[in-house]
Amino acid sequence: MCILMKKEQNNKSESSIAKKFWAFFIMVSFQVFSRSIFWINIVPLSNLFWPYQNFHAVEMGLIMTVTSLTAAVSGILLGKFIDRGSRKIILAVISIIIGSTRIFISFAQEGLGYETWGYFLTFMTISSFFGGGNRPAQVSLSNDVLRKNQRSQFFGILGIIWAVFQFLGFLVSAFAFQTGFWREFLRFTGVMTIIASIIFWIFTEEPKRGAKEEQLSEILKDESIIYDFQMTREIMRKTMLSKTNIAALLEGVFSCIILGVFFALVVPYTELPPHNISGVMISFLLITFGIAGAFLGQVFAKLSDKFAANNPPRRIKFIIFSLSISLLTFGLFFFIPLPNLNPQQGLDILLLFTFPSIWIFGIGIIIVFSVMGLYDVNQAPLLQNINLPEAQGQIVSWNQFVETLGTGIGPLLGGVLLALNNQNFQITSVVTLSFGIPGIIFWMMALKWYHNDRQVIKEILDERANQLKLKQQS
């Protein structure tokens, strides 16, 4: 009977999340679907810019670096507006601009070298600037809509949407490049992103800030009471600059350098000679195995909420486990003995699955996406717990800044090391693995600090709840 009741509660929880965020999920789906065009098509895009030339590793890595750094800086700038303004309006405007840039990119002229590259880079940078506000606004909005025991599941669902539509985008965009319909792909996804943004704007309600905090939830049911506290330097020092927050910031730099190097190298590694696996087939492998990993990550999300309900520091242990497994798996990817194929064989899916190394590669994809999902569903709720309602956007933007800084440095670092090592992917991967170790150490240290940092937040919210009650009585 208890088991049946728990299952019913879980189903109601997921139904409640879907009911509140259906328009948001649609909007995110089209954003993710459209943004997939770059990473999986990094080699075709290089050929589009510079026909009949070797792969321009540094220039293509520079696109990833510039766009990532732009998103990092813009997140800091937009974070303050997010913590003071309407998250709904900010998210909708960001999405409309992202959709518009896709349409502009579709008008790029092929084969003009650095002119085409510069045009593409310009609109990718504009998209990244506004896209930098996405994650802070999403976390801030969810913090005021969902109960604490729903948040991991929310980020788990969001992770599945990212995985499914990113992989579908990989497949469709790779096919579009191979058939010459890449312009149509960009125009379609751009228009649909704009339409989805308008639907989100119309059908989503802006919640009261702080409405789901235990100390504030009852008092904020009064429509006349508004949580309008602002961040001061003293409160910032005690909360946003707490030891656990600092540990998360430092970890983000090192871990995301590894992530950036990995994603910048794994596609050229599989697409270039001697492996010659086509972008369409890589997309198929990512869909086949990556979605399985994403759904496994959702299982981890439910387990995280269950085991961390009365013991939040367990989320830190889940993060340490995720980072350790990811680091090991990233390194092993480049030592899998993939088959040497000609370009025609690289298009044959049945042939690919006859090689045991392809299955090993697929298992690696499942592991990576499942443990990365475990990281995502635990990091955001953990940071929400140790920060005030008026700081949710800013603290996420700080973390996004250092994470995108690392992700942006990674591709450029990978491209430079690859060029210095004469396209030797194995040496490059081994050299960069050492950057991931400090991140694990920082989270181990945070295990000692979390309780005190959470206690500070509780005391501040208790004091503010009393202030709002006095305001209500007066």
In the chain, DSSP finds a helix count (H) and a strand count (E) of: 18, 0
Q: Quick one: which H or E segment has residue 97?
A: helix 87-105
The reported pLDDT for the residue numbered 109 is 86
What's the confidence (pLDDT) of residue 9?
46
What was the pLDDT predicted at 1? 42
Helix (H) or strand (E) holding 110: none
pLDDT of residue 28: 92
Give the DSSP letter of residue 436: G
Each domain of the chain, given as residue ranges in start order, spans 22-473
Packing angle between helix 291-308 and helix 151-179, nearest 10 degrees? 170
Instruction: State residue 14's pLDDT score.
Output: 52
> 399: closest CA among 413, 411, 387, 412?
387
Give 163: exposed, middle or buried? Use CB within 10 Å, 0-12, 13-18, 19+. Answer: buried
pLDDT of residue 194: 95
Domain 22-473 has CATH 1.10.10.10: no
Q: Give the whole-angstrom CA distance, residue 53 versus residue 75.
A: 36
What span, in angstroms and rounded, lies between the C-alpha atoms of 474 and 326? 55
Determine the length of the chain.
474
* Short-list 331, 369, 280, CA closest to 40: 280
Q: In this structure, which amino acid lies at residue 84?
A: R
CA distance linking residue 273 with residue 364, whole number of Å: 21
d(CA 196, CA 58): 35
Provide the pLDDT for residue 394: 80
Q: Is the peptide bond before 274 cis (omega within 30 degrees of 0)?
A: yes
pLDDT of residue 373: 75
pLDDT tens, per residue, the chain with 474 residues? 444 334 444 445 555 787 888 999 999 999 988 887 776 777 788 888 888 877 777 788 788 778 878 887 888 888 778 877 888 999 999 999 999 999 998 898 888 888 989 999 999 999 989 988 888 888 888 888 887 777 777 877 887 788 788 878 878 888 888 888 888 999 999 999 999 999 999 998 888 877 777 777 777 777 777 777 788 888 888 898 899 999 988 888 888 887 777 777 777 888 878 888 887 787 778 778 877 887 787 777 677 777 776 788 888 988 898 888 888 888 788 888 888 888 888 888 889 889 999 999 889 888 888 887 778 778 878 888 888 888 877 887 888 788 777 776 777 777 787 878 777 888 887 887 777 888 899 999 999 999 999 999 888 888 888 888 877 776
How high is the pLDDT of residue 101? 93
Distances, alpha carbon 12 to alpha carbons 9, 185, 296, in Å: 5, 37, 20
Three-state secondary structure readout of 334-385: CCCCCCCCCCCHHHCHHHHCCCHHHHHHHHHHHHHHHHHHHHHHHHHHHHHH
Are 221 and 435 in contact by the 8 Å Cβ rule? The answer is no
Placement of tokens 């913590």 in the chain: 83
Residue where the block lists tokens 């840039």? 101
Measured distance CA(440)–CA(322) in Å, rounded:
9
How does DSSP classify residue 55? Answer: -
Q: What's the pLDDT at 4?
A: 39
Distance of alpha carbon 440 from alpha carbon 324, whole angstroms: 7
Largest CA distance in the chain: 79
Residue 115 CA to residue 457 CA, distance in Å, equals: 52
Six-digit token string for 265: 């190298």
Angle in degrees, CA 197, 200, 201, rounded to 5: 85
Report the 10 Å Cβ neighbour count for 54. Answer: 10
pLDDT of residue 189: 92
Contact between 375 and 322 under an 8 Å Cβ cutoff? The reply is yes
Q: Which residues contact 326 (CB under 8 A, 6 or more apart)?
A: 255, 258, 368, 371, 372, 375, 436
Instruction: Identify the DSSP state of 209.
Output: T
CB under 8 Å to 186, separation ≥6 — which residues?
34, 37, 102, 103, 105, 106
Neighbours of 107 (CB within 10 A): 11
| ∠ CA 343-347-348, rounded to 5° | 120
Taking the C-alpha atoms of residue 469 and residue 254, their distance in angstroms, rounded to an integer, is: 44
Residue with tokens 């991991």: 152
Determine how many CB atoms are found less than 10 A away from the CB of residue 140: 28
Residue 397: CA count within 13 A, CB half-sphere: 27
**What local confidence, expressed as pLDDT, does residue 474 receive?**
66
